[in-house]
Structure 1
């Protein structure tokens, strides 16, 4: 434990990250936690510090859809447009004629599964240069605008042909609303947050959590951290399940521990055990996660997690298909948020961990080396036998 704490405190001192809140747990409870550095001016990081978790929201959006699948109210392979007819507006960019995108119909319909696994053809503008080109030419707002029109990104490839990271789970949240009838924020509150006692997780920071909200920063040219305002849009036209949540490390660990427990935590069942097994299976077959090459270096570095290791996608998470020596096992799952909030859980070894901070760029190389060192130290400390 001392080695883990030293690793994080030294990393803060060296400006590898501005501050850290880290936790390790298993199906039974929390095994270790640590806070290092100041999360806001004059405020040390605390276990109950509140983070903008951005893409850590995606797993909860996928869980919401999986709950409906588990109850036989939704199917993995239902075409999205059968539930949301407006999805038919989305066409594939075939090519550009000058700055004009030439669009065509996709060769097959996108399904619920495609949305959850980033195989629908939707891609973010951060990692595909054709998206900002299209957005500038057409005036399409970003998905982070909070505008419903921001959902209507064009497709960059035909559904089911490749893995590419994008805003599919924002559409998945809309599917949940259409099938269930409740708004996605109410659904998540009643079906996930309240049963799991995730008392500091929500879609708006609110008065009760505002004093615990951490600062967001960006790495400057000299390597230090400068203030940088970035947050999910408040009171948007719709809550995007790709990015909209605020949460704490203990809350998110409860979510992960529920999955380690086969869908149940502290007597509250969120998914059946069979539902968890279905959720965590490989849902993209022979496809693999691809390196995400940045077109916005201030926002994200290139993202190439565990290069050389085959990675697939479950119904909600990146999944590794091989044991990583000294680290996670085959079948382990995880992902992250753009402000460098990271997590994984390892069903084979009954282990889950979060390492959360709040700065850009995402996947900063110095941070990613620390994250790898942290994971190695966690396994050496808690699973060395």
Structure 2
């Protein structure tokens, strides 16, 4: 696939049918209640499709607005990198130097009979640590140390938490010494507000969403009423039940880890900016140097992404994509360091949100794609098998076509 083939894409014929078949089979087998998916390159949209119903008895729309949760994180990283481009901060800036409140974050040394034992960390936490999930700020439910801490403080895990709670977490290891997926990018949102002066919702609208034409990406669901599908959760019988899960509305402060709503096509515009080296439709968001930070491993030397173990498989299964491949974290994305046969290439960037909104962006093959629903648990194996089937179909039917066109 290349940009020239996208502007005058060849007729896809049976290829569209095959991709549509993956979506239809996903819903028919109850591997997801519905799916919205799309594929693009630097030249534009190559394919899109939907299957299933949105929970109101209506067929899901291509412009359905999703609770994208951790898909917010790459946008949060982009907000920070805009300020890196402006010389206001670097990835190696100590966070407490800019946010005095951060100096009060302590490290969980142990949990004794009287409760948690905290101490000051010996290592300064930097912006790089926050962005690459090497700060030691971990999510409860996805890290046994944080789950134990929450229990020891008499505040057991109750699902989606407020940002104020997330920002009260201690480190579970010395910054820069290990990987643990967590709340670092929420602190990044506070950094952006402190350095720029604008509230984070205004900053993102003016610096990212408006320039990229992401007209349906918002902080509040009331801004896009009637287009937000219901969330379903797997039941013991294998079906789904509707559950009430959403980021808190009108919080006192917004983080940049989980707070956004948006459409599949909006997120593809963001991914096309990454494919395009920081630019989309003539609007430049990031410099070449900043895009390099988004595309390349930024973890402290010797570290890589380790498996993430879930405490509650009704919310999230264990997270260990492509276990045979070494994975790192860039300033904004999970990155695979080797080719996955029949699928993504080395250097592909990806991640997703807790309600099973998933994406990847493959610069080597000039392809980006989204595969999105609103269902729990996260990364349920049967759903991920369909996502992998979709990805293989994209490379077989679209990427291979682009390579044939070039020849």
Tell me, in whole angstroms, the C-alpha distance in 2 between the residues paired with 1:307 and 1:337. Answer: 19
Q: Does the 8 A contact of 2:345 with 2:365 survive in 1?
A: yes
Q: What is the correspondence of 1:31-70 to structure 2 with a 5 Å cutoff?
A: 31-70=46-85
Task: Say what the alpha-carbon RMSD is for the aligned residues.
Answer: 1.4
Q: More deviation in 122-131 or 299-308?
A: 122-131
Tell me, in whole angstroms, the C-alpha distance in 2 between the residues paired with 1:211 and 1:139. Answer: 38
**For residue 331 of structure 1, what is the aligned residue in structure 2?**
347
Tell me, in whole angstroms, the C-alpha distance in 1 between the residues paired with 2:87 and 2:98. Answer: 15
User: Residue 136 of structure 1: which of 136, 143, 151 is its match?
Assistant: 151
Q: Which runs of 5+ in 1 are unaligned?
A: none
Tell me, in whole angstroms, the C-alpha distance in 1 between the residues paired with 2:31 and 2:286. Answer: 38
Deviation, structure 1 residue 101:
1.1
Task: Say whether residues 1:342 and 2:354 are aligned partners.
Answer: no
Task: Say whether residues 1:250 and 2:265 are aligned partners.
Answer: yes
Deviation, structure 1 residue 120:
0.3
Q: What is the correspondence of 1:109-128 to structure 2 with a 5 Å cutoff?
A: 109-128=124-143
Tell me, in whole angstroms, the C-alpha distance in 2 between the residues paired with 1:61 and 1:311. Answer: 21
**For residue 321 of structure 1, what is the aligned residue in structure 2?**
337
Q: Does the 8 A contact of 1:79 with 1:109 survive in 2?
A: yes
Q: More deviation in 351-360 or 260-269?
A: 260-269
User: Residue 194 of structure 1: which of 210, 234, 238 is its match?
Assistant: 210
Give 3-state SS (helix, strand or coil) of 1:101's partner.
strand
Deviation, structure 1 residue 98:
2.6
**For residue 6 of structure 2, what is the aligned residue in structure 1?**
none
Q: Does the 8 A contact of 2:109 with 2:118 survive in 1?
A: yes
Q: What is the correspondence of 1:195-344 to structure 2 with a 5 Å cutoff?
A: 195-207=211-223, 209-284=224-299, 285-344=301-360
Give 3-state SS (helix, strand or coil) of 2:194's partner.
helix
Q: Which runs of 5+ in 2 are unaligned?
A: 1-15
Aligned residues: 384
Q: Does the 8 A contact of 2:328 with 2:334 survive in 1?
A: yes
Tell me, in whole angstroms, the C-alpha distance in 2 between the residues paired with 1:62 and 1:364. Answer: 27
Give 3-state SS (helix, strand or coil) of 1:69's partner.
helix
Q: Deviations over 1:188-220 (max 9, x none)?
A: 00000011111110100125x110001101000
Q: Deviations over 1:267-296 (max 9, x none)?
A: 111011232123211101321111111111
Return the TM-score normalized by structure 1. Answer: 0.97
Give 3-state SS (helix, strand or coil) of 2:83's partner.
helix
Return the TM-score normalized by structure 2. Answer: 0.92
Tell me, in whole angstroms, the C-alpha distance in 1 between the residues paired with 2:126 and 2:117. Answer: 23
**For residue 179 of structure 2, what is the aligned residue in structure 1?**
163
Deviation, structure 1 residue 144:
4.3
Tell me, in whole angstroms, the C-alpha distance in 2 between the residues paired with 1:15 and 1:218. Answer: 11
Q: Does the 8 A contact of 2:111 with 2:152 survive in 1?
A: no
Tell me, in whole angstroms, the C-alpha distance in 1 between the residues paired with 2:317 and 2:164. Answer: 28
Task: Say whether residues 1:373 and 2:389 are aligned partners.
Answer: yes
Q: Does the 8 A contact of 1:282 with 1:319 survive in 2?
A: yes
Give 3-state SS (helix, strand or coil) of 1:326's partner.
coil
Q: More deviation in 239-248 or 122-131?
A: 122-131
Task: Say whether residues 1:360 and 2:360 are aligned partners.
Answer: no
Q: More deviation in 140-149 or 234-243?
A: 140-149
Q: More deviation in 252-261 or 147-156?
A: 147-156
Give 3-state SS (helix, strand or coil) of 1:218's partner.
strand
User: Residue 41 of structure 2: which of 12, 23, 26 is its match?
Assistant: 26
